[in-house]
Amino acid sequence: MVESRHGRARLVVRVGETTAPGQLFCSFHFPASGVNSLTSDHADTDTSCPEYKVTAVRVAAL
């Protein structure tokens, strides 16, 4: 389970060395994953890109 103050998503987590400690990467390609529920409604006014780069999350095993 990945959870932020905005929502939660049930995702498969793989731990590895390709991301820096304390960072998480998740693709937004599949809307059914619920990843968009983790981000706020704030978006860049020029690109409409969500504020996902500053979203703090917690990862917990189910």
Give the per-residue pLDDT at 32: 87
Give the chain as a DSSP string: -EE-SS-EE-------SSS-TT------S-GGG-GGGGS-S-B-TTT--BSGGG---EE---
Predicted local distance difference test score (pLDDT) of residue 26: 86
Q: What are 45-59's pLDDT values in tens digits? A: 898 887 776 789 999
Domain boundaries, the chain: 1-62
Q: Which tens digits make up the pLDDT trace of 25-45?
A: 888 788 888 888 888 888 888
CB 54 within 8 A of CB 40: no
3-state secondary structure of 58: strand
